[in-house]
Structure 1
Amino acid sequence: MQMPSDGKKPVRVLLVGFHEVMRAGLRGFVGTRNMEIVGECQTIPCAVATAARLKPNVVLMEMLLPDGSGVEACRKILVENPAIHVLFLTALDNEDARIASLFAGADGYLLDNIGSAALLDAIENAAAGLSILDPLIFPPASPKLRAQSVHLARDSGLSRQEHRILLLVAEGKTNKEIGEALGLSGKTVKNYLSTVFQKLNVSRRSQAAVRFTQIISQ
Structure 2
Amino acid sequence: MSTPPIAATAVSIVIVDDSEVVRAGLTALLSSSPQIKILSEAGDVAGGVATVLHHKPDVVLLDIRLPDGTGFDACRTICRANIDTRVLILTSVADEEMVDNAIRAGAHGYLLKEINGTALVQSIVDIAAGKSILDPAITARVLSLVRSNTPTTRNLIDGLSPQESRVLALIAEGQTNKEVAQAMNLAEKTVKNYLSTVFEKLHVTRRTQAAALYVQSQSSKPI
Mark the CA change 1:163 to 1:47 in structure 2 (over 3 Å): closer, same or farther. same
Is 1:193 equivalent to 2:188 in the alignment?
A: no
- 5+ residue gaps, structure 1, are 154-159, 175-188, 203-209
Change (3 A) 1:197 1:110: same
Give SS of 2:15's match. Answer: strand
**Matches of 1:104 and 1:73, distance apart in 2:** 9
**Percent identity over paired residues:** 32
Aligned-residue CA RMSD in angstroms? 3.4
| Structure 2 letter corresponding to 1:199 | T
Distance 1:171 1:216 in 2: 4
Residues 41-94 of structure 1 show CA distances to partners (whole Å, capped at 9, x for unaligned) of: 112121222211111110101110011111011001111135221111111122
Q: Is the 8 A contact 2:14 2:40 kept in 1?
A: yes
What's the CA shift for 1:121? 1.1
Q: Write the deviation string for residues 91-130 of structure 1: whole angstroms up to 9, x where unpaired.
A: 1122211110111000111111111111111111111111
| Local SS of the residue matching 1:130 | coil
**Matched position secondary structure for 1:24:** helix
Cα drift, residue 211 of structure 1: 5.8
Deviation at 1:161, TM superposition (A): 3.3
> How much has 1:35 moved relative to structure 2?
1.0
Residue in structure 2 matched with residue 81 of structure 1 by the alignment: 82
Aligned amino acid, residue 74 of structure 1: C
How many aligned residue pairs are there? 187
Question: Do structure 1's residue 30 and structure 2's residue 30 form an aligned pair?
Answer: yes
Q: How many Å separate the matches in 1 of 2:19 and 2:186?
A: 41
Give the whole-Å Cα distance in 2 for the aligned partners of 1:29 and 1:131.
22
Distance between the aligned counterparts of 1:216 and 1:9, measured in 2?
Answer: 33
Between 18-27 and 111-120, the greater mean CA deviation after superposition: 18-27
**Contact 2:133/2:174 (8 A) holds in 1:** no
Are the equivalent residues in 2 in contact too, given 1:145–1:216 (CA < 8 A)? no
Distance in 2 (CA, whole Å) between partners of 1:43 and 1:212 is 28
Residue 95 (str. 1) matches residue 96 (str. 2): yes
Q: Tell me whether 1:162 sits opposite 2:170 in the alignment.
A: no
Aligned ranges 1:115-130 → 2 under 5 Å: 115-130=116-131
CA 1:212–1:108 in 2, change beyond 3 Å: closer, same or farther? same
Q: Tell me the alpha carbon deviations over residues 154-206 of structure 1, each in whole angstroms, 9 at most, x when there is no partner.
A: xxxxxx332332343244399xxxxxxxxxxxxxx98652327442249xxxx
Structure 2 unmatched ranges of 5 or more: 194-204, 214-223
1:15 corresponds in structure 2 to 15
Q: Distance in 1 between matches of 2:73 and 2:207?
A: 23
Question: 2:73 matched to which residue of 1?
Answer: 72
